[in-house]
């Protein structure tokens, strides 16, 4: 499954989602194309995490639709979404601390055929060569930056067409963050993957993003409103477009 007939990898239409029937996202519309890096910015509680988890299938959809390519995946189980080509690197990395780097990567390839799992190691090893030297090391003993690389590499094990990355810069030094963003940029440019990155306003990396979306109170703020109200969704008004 590679992109829809109009080129978009992910299409979200009028999405309402939340917990226990209580809506957190309100009529969200968005589209992500192959090879594109989109930064989704928002304050704490704005709905970034809920949106990504809804796309992954772990937050229930109340109304609206999610399309991956031409397929309507709104009611699909998370495992089916992963197999169809969505990779997710969650907030806080969430690597399997007691497993080795190699085992973490193999878990990332669970939805693939057994014979293909090992081949994928080479594919992701090219993204983060540092991990190749640490295959037998327990993930819990890696540095924060290495764990973030592992989380992205694990999400890339299924050769996804859409990569969701949640707060990749959290708790990391600026140099390490730049390195991770460069890799995300490469993933989009060289492999045609659509990359959607959720970040706090303070962590914005405009130079690595093709587009920036701002989410506030569960709604994507339209561009025209952002231009008219520079402080949208941000207390200090860092984001203006």
Binding site for another protein (CB under 8 A): 56, 58, 77-79, 82-83, 88, 90, 94-99, 103-104, 106-108, 110-111, 114, 117, 154, 158
CB of 114 to another protein, least distance (A): 7
Residue 203's CB is within 10 A of a number of other CB atoms, namely: 18
Residue 127: its H or E element: none
Q: How far apart are CA 162 and CA 129, in angstroms?
A: 22
Closer CB to another protein, 65 or 111, in the complex: 111
All residues at 6 or more sequence positions from 149 whose CB lies less than 8 Å from its CB, including other chains: 127, 128, 130, 131, 180, 183
Closer CB to another protein, 83 or 189, in the complex: 83
Closest to 167 (Cα-Cα) out of 138, 205, 193, 125: 205
Phi then psi for residue 157, to 5 deg, are: -65, -20
Closer CB to another protein, 42 or 87, in the complex: 87
SS3 42: coil
Closer CB to another protein, 120 or 209, in the complex: 120
Closer CB to another protein, 58 or 170, in the complex: 58
Closer CB to another protein, 69 or 233, in the complex: 69
HSE-up of residue 89 (Cα within 13 Å, Cβ side) = 31
Structure tokens at 8: 């978009």
SS3 236: coil
CB of 96 to another protein, least distance (A): 4
Q: How far apart are CA 214 and CA 31, in angstroms?
A: 14
Structure tokens at 194: 């659509």
CB of 195 to another protein, least distance (A): 16
């Amino acid at each position: 499954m590679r992109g829809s007939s109009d080129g978009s990898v992910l299409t979200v239409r009028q999405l309402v989602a939340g917990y226990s029937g209580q809506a957190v996202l309100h009529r969200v519309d968005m589209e992500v194309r192959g090879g594109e890096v989109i930064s989704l910015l928002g304050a704490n509680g704005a709905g970034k995490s809920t949106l990504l988890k809804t796309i992954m299938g772990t937050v229930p959809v109340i109304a609206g639709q999610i399309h991956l390519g031409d397929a309507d995946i709104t009611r699909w189980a998370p495992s089916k979404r992963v197999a169809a080509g969505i990779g997710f690197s969650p907030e806080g990395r969430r690597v399997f601390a007691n497993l080795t780097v190699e085992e973490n990567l193999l878990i990332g390839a669970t939805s693939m055929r057994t014979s293909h799992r090992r081949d994928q190691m080479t594919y992701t090893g090219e993204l983060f060569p540092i991990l190749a030297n640490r295959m037998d090391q327990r993930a819990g003993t890696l540095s924060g930056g290495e764990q973030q690389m592992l989380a992205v590499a694990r999400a890339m094990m299924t050769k996804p067409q859409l990569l969701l990355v949640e707060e990749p810069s959290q708790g990391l030094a600026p140099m390490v963050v730049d390195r991770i963003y460069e890799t995300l940029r490469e993933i989009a440019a060289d492999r045609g993957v659509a990359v959607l990155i959720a970040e706090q306003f303070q962590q914005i990396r405009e130079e690595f993003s093709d587009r920036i979306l701002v989410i506030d109170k569960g709604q994507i703020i339209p561009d025209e409103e952002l231009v008219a109200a520079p402080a949208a969704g941000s207390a200090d008004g860092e984001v203006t477009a």
